A = this chain, B = another copy of it.
Amino acid sequence: MNFEFQNPTRIIFGAGNLSRLGEAAREFGTRALLVTGGGSVKRNGVFDRAVSSLKAAGITVAECEGIEPNPRITSVARGAATVRKEKCDIIIALGGGSVMDASKVISAAALYDGDPWDMINHGQDKVYVPKQALPVITVPTLAATGSETNCGAVITNEDAKVKSFIQIPLLYPKVAVVDPELTVTVPKDQTAYGVCDLITHVTEAYFNGIDTTPVQDRFAEGVILTAMQWGPKAIADGSDIEARAQVQWSAIVALNGWVQAGTNGAYPVHMMEHTVSAYHDVTHAAGLSIINPAWMRFAAKTNTGKFVQFAERVFGLPAKSADDLDCALEGIDRFEAFLRSIGCPTRFSELGIDGELFETYARDTLKIVRDENGNLPGRPPMSVEDMLGVFRSAL
């Protein structure tokens, strides 16, 4: 283990905390760009409550609405233009992962004269690394991505059919105002996708990291067990604020670095999914739910011991030995069954995706990230053929 860790985001967590948004924001600015998505926050009154809290703190509000579920670089550019026009000095993200991701990139793009797509790793020779950004405050309305307390963002270029990421410490939000009450109106399917998303964040580093991270392994298993316990309750009764809070806290710790610290893990399932949803505009976690179990069966053949540990500790399965592949595969079956039980798809056909573009996804994935041998980083690294095998097994 040799690593660095720093996450400076202040978390204000708990039901009813939306009313504290203005107070939290006032420390960083007086002219806010309020970023939102498809309009649910306007229909359910959350937008008005946020604006009230901001105005009561003496903060004026400009708007950037209509951020897409897979946020587009054109929307980032639009938000940045509004920031400049309205002379905003703080960005407030009120929405799900897409709104928060777009807000982070807007915060840097507003202070950059070039094309914001320069900042997103998409296989270009030289990625532009921004040196300054406006302060961002996140107010998540969905428990899923954990974007509220990390420094990553995933952005889509719809013309190029590329979905890729930026992840730099500059983009840590200053404050995350996390109010589980804001998630009670999230429909069952999106709640389930959030559970799948947060679990997949944890499984990536767990299965693709180095071997010597016993604390991180326990943390990862703890997040998965908690999400599997409380997720179904939040799906069954959206108004169960206790279940909503547990799922939301699980989503935060699943990707704020506490679980991943020192693991040096890769994210092959995410990389493959990003390429798929760049073509099909499917919900990110629906793609993850299909690809992750299929990838697990592929990876379990070489990294068997870790999958045996997963089967033992998460599902309580007995292993005959530390490399009991049958036990490992039984654990993956149980995991896939859990995903199905909460309503997530596990086959591409359920999303109406046939195999026609599988090779395109695989080759596009390698355009974004590849190791020195030209393979997708992970345990094990994946060739185009490996990816095709995983995709086909999930058809």
Contact = CB atoms under 8 A, between A and B. Distances in A.
B8 A14 contact: no
Nearest to A149: B5
Interface residues of A, number: 39
Nearest to A169: B10
A55 to B, nearest CB: 23
A26 B372 CA distance: 35
A22 to B, nearest CB: 16
Interface in A363-387: none
A13 B2 contact: yes
A249 interface: yes
A10 B169 CA distance: 11
A245 interface: yes
A90 interface: no
Interface in A193-221: 212, 214-215, 217-219, 221
B8 A214 contact: no
A13 B4 contact: yes
Interface in A229-271: 229-230, 242, 245-246, 249-250, 253, 258, 261-262
**Which of A8, A9, A214 has most B Cβ within 10 Å?**
A214
Given A15-B2, A17-B2, A222-B221, A246 B9 contact: no
A52 interface: no
Interface in A163-216: 212, 214-215
A14 B3 contact: yes
Nearest to A222: B218
A126 to B, nearest CB: 26
Contact of A226 (B11, B215, B229): B215
A218 B219 contact: yes
B12 A4 contact: yes
A312 B65 CA distance: 50
A395 interface: no
A160 interface: no
Interface string A117-158: 000000000000000000000000000000000000000000
Number of copies of this chain in the oligomer?
Answer: 2
Contacts of A219: 218-219, 222
A219 B229 CA distance: 15
Given A212-B242, A214-B246, A218-B226, A13 B5 contact: yes
Q: Which of A1, A9, A215, A242 gathers the greatest number of chain B CB atoms within 10 Å?
A: A215
A9 B8 CA distance: 8
Contact of A223 (B4, B5, B9, B215): B215
A6 interface: yes
A22 B249 CA distance: 37
Contact of A11 (B5, B10, B230, B246): B5
A51 interface: no
A230 B226 CA distance: 25
A172 to B, nearest CB: 10
A62 interface: no
A77 interface: no
Nearest to A14: B2
A11 B222 CA distance: 23
Given A7-B7, A215-B249, A219-B222, 16 more contacts: A1-B13, A1-B245, A2-B15, A3-B14, A4-B11, A4-B13, A212-B245, A214-B226, A214-B230, A215-B246, A218-B218, A218-B219, A218-B221, A218-B225, A219-B219, A258-B258
19 contacts: A1-B14, A3-B13, A4-B10, A4-B12, A6-B11, A11-B261, A13-B262, A214-B230, A215-B222, A215-B226, A215-B249, A218-B218, A218-B219, A218-B221, A218-B222, A218-B223, A218-B225, A219-B222, A249-B262
